Structure 1
Amino acid sequence: MIIRWLVLTLLLVIAPLRAAAQPVEVLWLGHSTTRLTSVSGKVILIDPFLTRNPVTPPEYRDLNAVGDVDLILVTHGHQDHVSDLLELSRLTGAKILANYEFARNLVALGLVDENSVISMNKGGAVEPLGRGVKIHMVHADHSSSLDYNILGIRSPDANASVRQGGGAGVPVGFVIEMENGFTIYHTGDTAVFGDMALIRELYAPDLALVCIGGFFTMGPTEAAYAVRELIKPKAVIPIHYGTFPVLNRTPAEMKDALGDTDIEMLDVVPGQAILFEGSSPVR
């Protein structure tokens, strides 16, 4: 009986350790759209822009190919970040986590059910997938608007609503802490801002997903400064470039601007998954 009890105890201890040893998967799907899979298999999709995204791999333009999704994070309301939001939420049953005004207006406009959204604000943190995966909403320096046409409704001021910036609250970024402590910072669309240093101090991200396209966001030089001097992650993946002609900046420019640094820049292509064991990418 004692031996059997010891064996059962060891199994109960070892099983969670094995689960925690599974790598975190980061799958960039072009532009800002990123799928994260935690060590326990929880799936988070950030800024769903797939079916109309010219650089998303063709297989992922079928939303069924995205697979199970437990939670959708929205950084802001621009159409190139939310065009597949409602359809993907309906298809997968995933809850939508967004800034308070954006999320509440989705409900008020009858686009989603009250129980389908998590409406929060910058500075807050939630664990909507159960204990272990924590989502922090942080600052971004950009704009936001609610595109009624993309959302499939006709507004009384449909011609002006997008340009007036109404209904979508403020832009945000996200810090996602996984069950094993691996921490990812998704900047959303942003200019460089000094308080990125606070994000480093508070959350010490292992990986930063950083916009580099220029024109609408910071470019490679500003992004390199943000990463090297302010965020200081162990690794960085450049995103939000190459989608449209005006977003013509490149990861090579960012690598040159980074200079001599211990921060690893991962130049990935849309559809290429990177696995992380601990805080290091798996080769």
Structure 2
Amino acid sequence: MKITFYGHACIGIKINDIHILVDPFITGNPKAAHIDIQTIAADYILLTHAHQDHILDVEAIAKRTGAVIVSNYEIAAHFGAKGYHYHPMNHGGSWDFGTSRNGELAQHFGTVKYVIAHHSSSFPDGSYGGQPGGFVIEGEHKNIYIAGDTALTMDMKLIPMRTKLDLAILPIGSNFTMDVDDAILASDFVQCDKILGYHFDTFGYIEINHEEAKRKFFDRGKDLMLLEIGQSIKL
């Protein structure tokens, strides 16, 4: 499993030959100006909620790639009404993505579960974007949790009751989401000490001290990774 950070809350995940893109907000992020969305592969686009800083580049990428948009019912149906391929979900539901949208057997990449996030969700025009969420992906013998934009929540404790995580991707920028200290508690809740931080530094409200954040995690026996935009890791 290869994971690439495209800035803000946008993550690329490659499992076997399947490309998953999460919350594509790239062209609106000056810090990601060196990333060309025309070169990003996507078989599936996972959306945690409807805010502009998570869906800005969905249509451009989905139109070029034919990707299936996976999100809560309201967001998925919104893009489905525009003619895009979609798969609706809701909290607590799981789906084994082993077949393609035309029903033919496709390369299996794993199971996706849509889990609770405490945040808000509206489209840029103010219309309702359903309830926000996160994703647990079980694939290729590696399991990851993508928290989305969220506060610290006791619901996170449910995740390790079912899934042993290899990586937790957590927001750490504060103001709109958890801060570093709450993210440390979240890593305790999900029982995962390998953390990829995201949703930080994009704009003034969420700027953080990188060295201090890493030290706080280290002091708790945990590994916080803060990738440069475009940088990848392998699990």
Q: Counterpart of 1:127 in 2: which secondary structure?
A: strand
2:114 paired residue number: 137
Give the 5 Å matches for 1:93-172. 93-108=66-81, 111-113=82-84, 116-130=85-99, 131-148=108-125, 162=126, 166-172=127-133
Q: Which runs of 4+ in 1 moved over 4 A?
A: none
Whole-Å Cα distance in 2 between the matches of residues 267 and 121 of structure 1?
30
2:105 paired residue number: none
5+ residue gaps in structure 2? 100-107
1:30 paired residue number: 7
What is the CA distance between 1:253 and its match in structure 2?
3.2
200, 206, 214: which is aligned to 1:247? 206
Whole-Å Cα distance in 1 between the matches of residues 58 and 46 of structure 2?
9
Q: Counterpart of 1:72 in 2: which secondary structure?
A: strand
Q: Is the 8 A contact 2:217 2:223 kept in 1?
A: no
1:63 paired residue number: 37
Q: Is the 8 A contact 1:27 1:34 kept in 2?
A: yes
* Residue-by-residue CA offset, 1:176-229 (whole Å, 9 max, x unaligned): 1112x20011100000011211112221211011100111111111111211x2
Please tell me whether residue 225 in structure 1 is matched to residue 225 in structure 2.
no
1:85 paired residue number: 58
- Quickly say closer, same or farther: Cα 1:210–1:43, change in 2 above 3 A: same
- Quickly say closer, same or farther: Cα 1:273–1:188, change in 2 above 3 A: same
1:74 paired residue number: 47
Whole-Å Cα distance in 2 between the matches of residues 146 and 193 of structure 1?
24
2:104 paired residue number: none
177, 192, 195: which is aligned to 2:152? 192
Please tell me whether residue 46 in structure 1 is matched to residue 22 in structure 2.
yes
Q: Is the 8 A contact 1:241 1:250 kept in 2?
A: no
2:233 paired residue number: 274
Q: Is the 8 A contact 1:70 1:129 kept in 2?
A: no
Number of residue-to-residue matches in the alignment:
227
Q: TM-score, normalised by structure 1?
A: 0.76
Residue identity matched to 2:222: I
* Residue-by-residue CA offset, 1:235-281 (whole Å, 9 max, x unaligned): 111100000011112343333333534432223211111112xxxxx
Residue identity matched to 1:64: Q
- Quickly say closer, same or farther: Cα 1:224–1:254, change in 2 above 3 A: farther
Q: Is the 8 A contact 1:137 1:172 kept in 2?
A: yes
What is the CA distance between 1:55 and its match in structure 2?
1.9
2:175 paired residue number: 215
Whole-Å Cα distance in 1 between the matches of residues 221 and 98 of structure 2?
33
Whole-Å Cα distance in 1 between the matches of residues 74 and 186 of structure 2?
28
What is the CA distance between 1:25 and its match in structure 2?
0.6
Over the matched positions of the two proteins, sequence identity in percent amounts to: 34
Whole-Å Cα distance in 1 between the matches of residues 33 and 77 of structure 2?
32
What is the CA distance between 1:132 and its match in structure 2?
4.3
Name the structure where strand makes up a greater proportion of residues. Answer: 2
